Structure 1
Amino acid sequence: MTHGTGYVDPAYLDAAARLAAEGKRRSYERLRLSAGASVLDVGCGPGTDTLPLAEIVGPSGHVAGIDRDPEMVAEADRRARAAGVDRRVEHRVGDATALPFADGAFDGVRSERLLLHLAEPERAVAEMVRVTRPGGWVVLVDTDWGTRSVDTPETELERRMAHVLAELCLANGYSGRRLYGMAKRAGLADVTPEALPLYVTDYALWRLLSRLDVAGEEAVRAGVMTADEVRRLDESWRALGEAGTFFALTTLVLVSGRRE
């Protein structure tokens, strides 16, 4: 299938999952699930979260995952079979803004790093609330790419690249800071935000997670940076990586709320 600018593959998602492991753990806790519960992961990717959620709800529980990419869904199904949880985990191809589930179908619903890819994220949040039972919890997790900061002597170029990553490479790159307001406007009660810093000291890992090749092409195409400026900036980061002093920082935001 043809993928858009914001597309990332399973290898990217696996690397991001390791970096965001604490945020994932906190998001599971905020769902307040017990054995036998039903839970939906919206934008499930290759099953990164549906498999751990299957362990939380146990053999009598039910986990559903939905993703618009058939390749991701196929990989999620493969991983569920390999983990021996496929009888209580299902993955479907579908649209986050038109979930194929009945009202109040789940005890909890979560999404992680999904809304930053959506042009109409509030529609997706409304759908998540709709399919959550009264008293159930909705948990939203997203990166705020506007908080991304990377050490470099090329500070002015780094700020321009931050703009490219947040505004040209993603549909909703400032999603993290918007989760609280979206949850409130969606009618959720007891809305609680939390922010977790994410840092990377491995240049190669950061380059993968920032999709720097794509970002550089977008920067040049948009006239925000020249090809030489992109090269200079990357060389400055590469030098810090070789010196063992590379450092990058961003923020992961978690917001939970209860459907009344």
Structure 2
Amino acid sequence: MVLTNKTPEDKVNSLFDRVAPEYDSMNNWISMGLQKKWRKETMKKLDIKNDSEILDVCCGTGAWTADLARGLGESGHVTGLDFSKEMLKLAETKLVNYEQKSKIKLVQGNAMDLPFTDNSFNGATIGFGLRNVPDASQVLSEMLRVVKPGGFVACLETSQPQNMIVKSVWNIFFKLVPVIAKIRGNNYADYDYLQKTTKEFVSANRLKEMFEEVGLQKVTYKQFSLGAVVLHIGYKKM
């Protein structure tokens, strides 16, 4: 018998390595094509300065990383970090001919132990990754640590709609996700796990409290798609 001592991080990493090839197409289907709109609205809210240094945590295949780079001037820079080697390979492939590629650096690393010094970035983002880490508060603490005083931490994430009718439809939809994934040739268990992390993730109000508990200030949030997706933004004390 082969014994394994995989940590929770290792298990999540393995899952995302497996789903990487279909990740973008499944995300587009699950979001009903709205993910680009959510990121566009988020970029307006962030109002990033041209010369900013930005960290994109759990960058996956680099969708938001690319948006961030597009919003910067020539002296700006984005570092995309992900634990999954396969996700980063796809991101690298996607960005080969991307006109803003010179502004982007991809790094493999652990979101709960960021390989950067304190006060390194003007802002840090995480898109649809916080619900899948073993300790969301630890990730927020690390993002806060590496952001400069006055810098922002932003999280775009699925949430639990408060309207009961919307929530009922939302629950039914996400129960179908692993079934559709299987029909499309993906692993049912992987997407069953992902729909559960979506369903079980904290409410918008609770995530606001978590931002504040780690030390972020002036925390606000904006709901998209009737509360199914929420953007949280907080700032590091000057």
What band does the TM-score fall into relative to the shorter chain? 0.7 to 0.9
Corresponding position of 1:49: 64
**Following TM superposition, by how much is the alpha carbon of 1:194 offset from its aligned partner in structure 2, in angstroms?**
1.3
* Range 75-84 or range 8-17, more displaced: 8-17
CA RMSD of aligned residues (A): 3.2
Are 2:145 and 1:130 aligned?
Answer: yes
SS of 1:125's partner is helix
Corresponding position of 2:46: 31
- Within 2, Cα distance between the matches of 1:102 and 1:159? 41
In the superposition, relative to structure 1, how do residues 85 and 66 fare at CA in structure 2: closer, same or farther (>3 Å)?
same
In the superposition, relative to structure 1, how do residues 3 and 35 fare at CA in structure 2: closer, same or farther (>3 Å)?
same
Are 2:25 and 1:11 aligned?
Answer: yes
In the superposition, relative to structure 1, how do residues 5 and 77 fare at CA in structure 2: closer, same or farther (>3 Å)?
closer
| TM-score using structure 2 length | 0.74
* 1:106-128 C-alpha deviation (Å, 9 max, x unpaired): 11111111111122100000011
**Are the equivalent residues in 2 in contact too, given 1:143–1:175 (CA < 8 A)?**
no
Corresponding position of 1:106: 121
**Are the equivalent residues in 1 in contact too, given 2:16–2:84 (CA < 8 A)?**
no
* Range 122-131 or range 73-82, more displaced: 73-82
| TM-score using structure 1 length | 0.68
Report which structure shows greater RCO (CA 8 Å, sep ≥6): 1
**Following TM superposition, by how much is the alpha carbon of 1:23 offset from its aligned partner in structure 2, in angstroms?**
2.2
Identity %: 26
Aligned length: 203
SS of 1:257's partner is strand
* 1:7-42 C-alpha deviation (Å, 9 max, x unpaired): 562322344483223321232233331111111111
Give unpaired runs (5+ residues) of structure 2. 1-12, 179-191
- Within 1, Cα distance between the matches of 2:121 and 2:174? 42
| Matching residue within 59, 73, 94 for 2:74 | 59
Corresponding position of 2:233: 256
**Are the equivalent residues in 2 in contact too, given 1:77–1:86 (CA < 8 A)?**
no
| Matching residue within 166, 169, 172 for 1:150 | 169
Instruction: Select the structure that is richer in helix.
Output: 2
Corresponding position of 2:135: 120
**Are the equivalent residues in 2 in contact too, given 1:191–1:255 (CA < 8 A)?**
yes
Larger radius of gyration: 1
SS of 1:87's partner is helix
| Matching residue within 105, 111, 127 for 1:96 | 111
**Are the equivalent residues in 1 in contact too, given 2:64–2:127 (CA < 8 A)?**
no
**Are the equivalent residues in 1 in contact too, given 2:159–2:198 (CA < 8 A)?**
no
Structure 2 matches for 1:166-185, cutoff 5 A? 169-170=196-197, 173-177=200-204, 178-185=206-213
**Are the equivalent residues in 1 in contact too, given 2:158–2:198 (CA < 8 A)?**
no
